[in-house]
Amino acid sequence: MCGIVGYIGKKPALPVLLSGLKRLEYRGYDSYGFCILEKKKDVFLYKKKGKISELQEDFSNIKGQIGIAHTRWATTGAVSEQNTHPHFDCHKNIFLVHNGIIENYQELKEQLIKEGHQFTSETDTEVLAHLIEKYFDDNLEEAVRQALKEVRGTYGIAVISKKDPEKIVAAKLGSPLILGINDNEFLVASDPAAIISSTRQIITLDDNEIAVLSPDKFFILKEKPIEKIEWDIEDAQKQGFSHFMLKEIFEEPEAIKKSIVGRMILEQGLAKLGGLDEVSERLKKIEKVVIIACGTASYAGKVGEYMFEEYAKIPTKLEIASEFRYKNSILDDKTAVLAISQSGETIDTLEAIKEAKRKGCLTLGLVNTVGSSIARETDAGVYCRVGQEIAVASTKAFISQLSILALITVFLGRQRGMSLTTGKRILQELEKLPDLARKILNKSDDIKDLAKKYSEYRNFFFLARKYNFPIAQEGAIKLKEIAWKIHAEGYPGGEIKHGPIALIDENFPTVVICPSDSVYDKMKNALEEIKARKGKILAVITQGNDEIKNLADDVIYIPKTLEMLTPILTTIPLHLFAAYLGLELGLDIDKPRNLAKSVTVE
């Protein structure tokens, strides 16, 4: 998520904007920019790559009292000054900052270019500036209103114009936007953290609302109550959550949505992945996929292996990147190597890609951080688009990786004989997931109670089969990282009887992931084996299953979905369980001991 702040009032705008941008920097942005309307309709526009905290320049001569600013976390288009906001129209009359994704930007851009507009960036945002220019006839809010009618996607925007200079126009759909109200000054921001040092009086804009801010008044299409911010700055950055990890877990429904929005052509059962289009012909000839990743990302990769083989009918193998690099796998130009990484900087994964390239493979990336080393090193790829993860534990990025792997399954599958019906079915079920994920989070208090109940144990097994086996591993790694006083292992359900069952007794609980799927009966057997040895059982099961309720000590329900998509839902309670257990043990769940967010050493 990018950050926006705008100011209009009686004092120089720039110091207010810079202080706002600094308040947002905790999220780790890659570039920033601002635009100030000076007297006599001059404009001061500034864009820079890097961190705002490193800004040295003296801007004391910039006195304009109207301005907008932006911190970017690249999604569409690389990290560069051209792609940094504010974006502008052909004649540099209209300037705009945006948070969100314009899904239909490519078609709008093509049309605007035909109409003679000239673009200077690779971003989706720039189409908004040109669309507003197209409709501009001396009234900025009217032009914004007209332009937004053509847009599909999400936005929180703030717009200013040299030709209608006494105002900021702000509008929102799907991305957060608030107004800050003060005596003789108004602010607009994507996040209360950006304006909290200027005012605590805010109005939260609703979707499809447009606000017009002038130096002495503001106007929204309908009357809205003014609220008061009761948090301090750190709380504001965590948006009311006690920890970033919790905030990021609660963003998981949105992460699914951001990962799939604009990437599905439902009626044709097709996944539209722009980043793979350029290698689409080569992908048709690929005979084998090797997925490389580390830690949590590797568990996403394992789910991908199952998805690709079952639905795309392409031989696939997950390899731990640090092992892959040294084991001299048999690879050739008919092999696609897909690297999965949240940070895009994990050295083991990066070096494994280089090795795959040496062997002539097509290399692909599934990465969250735009412009990162892995994104640059791979031939093509898909971005997660879920915004920066701050907590060390990867949560929302993992959910996004799973969602995008389902899309890639459809992409590859439809190249290899997957039927229209199957493609459509997967996409339709995928589209329902954000709502289903929200239902799980609505029960977070129950999971918190379970975490309290189980906090006395120091060892856990996580068991599952097939698609959920990697989720057992994910549940275990999260517990190890976040509640590190506890030891946990994730096992395939069928393996426990080959050794680990010796450990089971009343002091060794097992989390059994057992949705109603093709391996349900087999998992039930494992559950009974544990029960017979007096092991405590916490089962993650599908809503409506009354059978396991009587076998397990405790249950967590997930809504019903397609088997291949169940990992996206079963993961969510396990992320919460680990976070709450860590808190129960008095640990810092955002910064677990001995761990770093990105592992750039071998």
Q: Which helix (H) or strand (E) element contains residue 569?
A: helix 566-584
Q: Is 585 among the residues that bind ligand M6R (CB under 6 A)?
A: no
* Per-position b or e across 436-460, b if 16+ CB within 10 A of its CB: bbbebbeebeebbebbeebbebeeb
Binding piece for ligand M6R, criterion CB under 6 A, among 176-184, 201-209, 252-260, 341-349: 341-349
Chain residue whose CB lies nearest ligand M6R = 295
Q: Which is nearer to ligand M6R, 76 or 349 (CB)?
A: 349
28: its two tokens:
């780790």
Within 10 angstroms of residue 292's Cβ, the number of other Cβ atoms is 33
| Burial class of residue 252 in the structure, from the number of CB atoms within 10 Å of its CB (0-12 exposed, 13-18 middle, 19+ buried) | buried
Binding piece for ligand M6R, criterion CB under 6 A, among 165-173, 252-260, 289-297, 452-460: 289-297
Give how many residues touch ligand M6R by CB under 6 A.
17
Q: Which is nearer to ligand M6R, 180 or 295 (CB)?
A: 295
Torsion over CA of 295, 299, 304 and 310, rounded to 10 degrees? 150
Binding piece for ligand M6R, criterion CB under 6 A, among 8-16, 66-74, 168-176, 294-302: 294-302
Binding piece for ligand M6R, criterion CB under 6 A, among 32-40, 291-299, 307-315, 375-383: 291-299
CB 388 to ligand M6R: min, Å: 12
Q: Give catalytic status of residue 597 as yes or no.
A: yes
- The partner residues of 491 in beta bridges, in order of sequence, read 463
Q: Is 599 among the residues that bind ligand M6R (CB under 6 A)?
A: yes
577-to-448, 454, 527, 530, 596 alpha-carbon distances in Å? 7, 10, 20, 21, 21
CB 399 to ligand M6R: min, Å: 12
Binding piece for ligand M6R, criterion CB under 6 A, among 57-65, 246-254, 328-336, 337-345: 337-345
DSSP for 491-524?
A: EEGGGGGGTGGGG-STTS-EEEE--SSTTHHHHH
Q: SS3 for 345?
A: coil
Q: Which is nearer to ligand M6R, 24 or 384 (CB)?
A: 384
Q: Is 473 among the residues that bind ligand M6R (CB under 6 A)?
A: no
17: its two tokens:
């904007």
Within 10 angstroms of residue 267's Cβ, the number of other Cβ atoms is 9
Residues 6+ apart with CB under 8 A from 76: 101, 105, 122, 123, 124, 125
Q: SS3 for 246?
A: helix
Helix ranges (H only) for 420-516 are 420-441, 444-454, 469-482
CB 574 to ligand M6R: min, Å: 12
Q: Is 338 among the residues that bind ligand M6R (CB under 6 A)?
A: no
Q: Which is nearer to ligand M6R, 245 or 569 (CB)?
A: 245
- Given the residues 49, 162, 522, 597, the one annotated as active site: 597
CB 366 to ligand M6R: min, Å: 10
CB 298 to ligand M6R: min, Å: 8
CB 320 to ligand M6R: min, Å: 11
Q: In what order do the strands lie in the sheet with 178-182?
A: 43-49, 31-37, 66-72, 3-8, 185-189, 178-182, 201-204, 227-228
Q: Which of 393, 410, 556, 558 binds ligand M6R (CB under 6 A)?
A: 393
If we measure between CA atoms, which residue out of 157, 194, 197 comes closest to residue 177?
Answer: 157
Q: Are strands 218-220 and 510-513 parallel, antiparallel or unpaired?
A: unpaired
The tally of CA atoms less than 13 A away on the side-chain side of residue 499 is 3
Q: Is 598 among the residues that bind ligand M6R (CB under 6 A)?
A: yes
Q: Is 294 among the residues that bind ligand M6R (CB under 6 A)?
A: yes
Q: Which of 76, 99, 335, 342 binds ligand M6R (CB under 6 A)?
A: 342
Q: Is 481 among the residues that bind ligand M6R (CB under 6 A)?
A: yes
Q: Is 388 among the residues that bind ligand M6R (CB under 6 A)?
A: no
443: its two tokens:
């029960």
Q: Is 291 among the residues that bind ligand M6R (CB under 6 A)?
A: no
How far is C-alpha 114 from the chain's CA centre? 33
Residues 6+ apart with CB under 8 A from 237: 23, 24, 26, 27, 191, 193
Q: Which of 83, 154, 296, 400 binds ligand M6R (CB under 6 A)?
A: 296
116: its two tokens:
């003679």
Q: Give catalytic status of residue 2 as yes or no.
A: yes
Q: Which of 198, 335, 394, 473 binds ligand M6R (CB under 6 A)?
A: 394
Q: Are strands 380-383 and 362-367 parallel, antiparallel or unpaired?
A: parallel
Q: Which is nearer to ligand M6R, 128 or 297 (CB)?
A: 297
If we measure between CA atoms, which residue out of 571, 575, 569, 510 comes closest to residue 542?
Answer: 569
- Given the residues 2, 294, 361, 384, the one annotated as active site: 2
CB 302 to ligand M6R: min, Å: 13
Q: Which is nearer to ligand M6R, 123 or 296 (CB)?
A: 296
Binding mask 68-107 toward ligand M6R (x if CB under 6 A, else -) reads ----------------------------------------
Binding mask 523-562 toward ligand M6R (x if CB under 6 A, else -) reads ----------------------------------------
Binding piece for ligand M6R, criterion CB under 6 A, among 103-111, 177-185, 277-285, 340-348: 340-348
Q: Is 28 among the residues that bind ligand M6R (CB under 6 A)?
A: no
Q: Which is nearer to ligand M6R, 349 or 388 (CB)?
A: 349
Q: Is 297 among the residues that bind ligand M6R (CB under 6 A)?
A: yes
318-to-17, 153, 293 alpha-carbon distances in Å? 46, 34, 8
Q: Which of 112, 140, 312, 392 binds ligand M6R (CB under 6 A)?
A: 392
Site residues, ligand M6R (CB under 6 A): 294-297, 341-343, 346, 349, 392-394, 477, 481, 595, 598-599
List active site positions. 2, 597
